[in-house]
Amino acid sequence: EREYKVLDELYKVKARVPKPLGRSRHVVVTEFIEGIELYRYKEAINPLEILRKILETIRKAYLDVGVVHGDLSEYNVMIQVSNGNEEPYIIDWPQFVEKDHPSAPQLLERDVNYVIKFFKKRYRVDISRELALKYVKGEVDEI
């Protein structure tokens, strides 16, 4: 129920998450994302743009919905490619925490660091972790 609710809130603010369709007991049903997991996506067309979109969703989650994913990595991002457009979707939100949770600052920093580190290693996209963190917190408007 908790994951469904947060997905619904995230979807309403146009965060890049699958559209939640329903839930029953411990199962959340979302729209099917025809894509590939980020960790398997070797030949990105525009990795910097993918990274920006991921950080934008982290920002919307934090600022608009008031949550932190808490377990974000290349394993929780799906990439959908259509007509040369790469659209990332952040999945697997059951471990999210509210932004006022005592662990939220550390989890947010870890989420951002994991993503930045992956893009640097895989695609040689190097952006400042500090700037990315300021962006997702709303302290700066651009990366």
98 membership: H or E segment, kind and range: strand 97-98
Picking from 17, 3, 124, the residue whose alpha carbon sits closest to that of residue 76 is: 17
3-state secondary structure of 65: helix
Residue type for position 137: K
- Select which of 8, 64, 71, 92 is catalytic: 71
- Whether 126 sits among the annotated catalytic residues: the reply is no
Burial class (CB within 10 angstroms; exposed 0-12, middle 13-18, buried 19+) of 61: buried
Q: How far apart are CA 100 and CA 79, in angstroms?
A: 30
Q: How far is CA 30 from CA 15, 25, 92, 142, in A?
A: 14, 14, 11, 30
Residues annotated as part of the active site: 71
